[in-house]
Amino acid sequence: MQALAYYLDQPSGTFTAKQQDVPDPGPGEVRLRVAKTSVCQSDVVIYKVGLPRIKEWPALLLHEVCCVVDAVGDGVTKFAPGDLVGIGCDIPCGDLDCIYCGRDGTGDWTSCPNTQATGHEFPGFARSHAVLPAWFVELGPIVKFPPGFNPDHACQLEPLACCLEGMTRVNACIENRIVVLLGAGSQSTYALQCAQAMGARKIILVNRGAERLERVLRDFGDDTVVGVRWDDNVVENVLRECLPFNEPHFVMVNAPAQPAYELAPKLMGYGTVLDAHAGVKGAAGKPRIAHEVDLNNDIHYRLQVYQATHGSSMRGINLAAQFLSDGKLPKLDLMTNDSERFKHDKIPQAIARASDSDSLKVIIDWD
Ligand SMILES: [Zn+2]
Ligand SMILES: [Zn+2]
């Protein structure tokens, strides 16, 4: 069959629509019709400056996606035509014997030396149809949603999974605890909703710009949520909001900038968990950001945890699918307003909107 695909020729280049042939699925394979894609901040970066992991141009961007199963190959029993499925970005390397990604593997795909991701090494979903290889269908991040499930929510499976990986790698730091979120972009807005769903005692949202902070507080706030401006007094203002505790219990760095890594350690107290969730990457590569930790007094005696997550494994994907299917994020639709919805022939406009300082989640419709 013929399918439509939008190839970006080079960073800061142009998208060109192309008709291409999509085969029938072979044994173990699944053919998908793309329903919705949402735009990740990494798509904005790839569009503007590219990414070393993308070796081949023209490239197919977009990795946050939900699809309708269009046809299945021989031997596929998990999926049937008509199923709505969500797909992750980090995927197995394809080697069925790999100790990370294979049938007997740990499932830690991002630790595999041959790790790959959709929209990076593996083609993204800026296309109307895709055939997933058998190893992807068997081992990869593809989950089925209940009949009638909202595709606008299903396409946000992957970014939500990444967020939940960060919030659940260390146990017992969210429920009944004080959560600090640095940045008020989409990852912090998912984290805020998850923290509410997980029963956080208080959520402190820290952001430089007023516009997005106000949007998030207005649409997602309740009596557990406060906003703090990221100015010269941010440390004392956050710590004051933690009272009567002396410190927050969980600090999530969702701003991919060095100042966030300078601020976060200043908020560490007794038992605080820091999730270095957003990495810092510039034209000059990944800068070294040093911070001295006393392994005896800080880590042992004060029980501090410095951890990070990036991307998502099947664990995060399953958790996100469960949160979505159980309706644990009832305000999710508010992350996408009318100015953040586009048809598939407006990908450049969608990416431009996603790079605005007040934008939360841009969704592209493929129907
Ligand atoms: Zn993403
Ligand atoms: Zn592997």
Q: How confident is the model at residue 55 (pLDDT cuts 50, 70, 90)?
A: confident
Q: Provide CATH code, domain 2-160+311-365.
A: 3.90.180.10
Residues 152-161 have a mean pLDDT of 98
CA of 55 to the centre of ligand 1 (A): 19
Output the pLDDT for position 258: 95
Residue with tokens 């038992």: 271
CA of 334 to the centre of ligand 2 (A): 37
Q: Which ligand is nearest to the CA of 311?
A: 1
Supply φ then ψ for residue 142, to 5 degrees: -135, 120
Judged against a pLDDT cut of 80, whether residue 26 lies above it is answered with yes
Are 89 and 128 in contact, with CB atoms under 8 Å apart? no
Fold classification of 170-307 (topology level): Rossmann fold (3.40.50)
pLDDT in tens, 275-317: 999 999 876 788 999 999 999 999 999 999 999 998 999 999 9
CA of 162 to the centre of ligand 2 (A): 19
Judged against a pLDDT cut of 80, whether residue 231 lies above it is answered with yes
**Largest CA-CA distance found in the chain, in angstroms, rounded:** 64
CA of 63 to the centre of ligand 1 (A): 6
Output the pLDDT for position 80: 98
Are 139 and 30 in contact, with CB atoms under 8 Å apart? no
Domain ranges (residues) in the chain: 2-160+311-365, 170-307
Give the integer Cα–Cα distance in Å for 164 and 177: 16
Q: Which ligand is nearest to the CA of 39?
A: 1
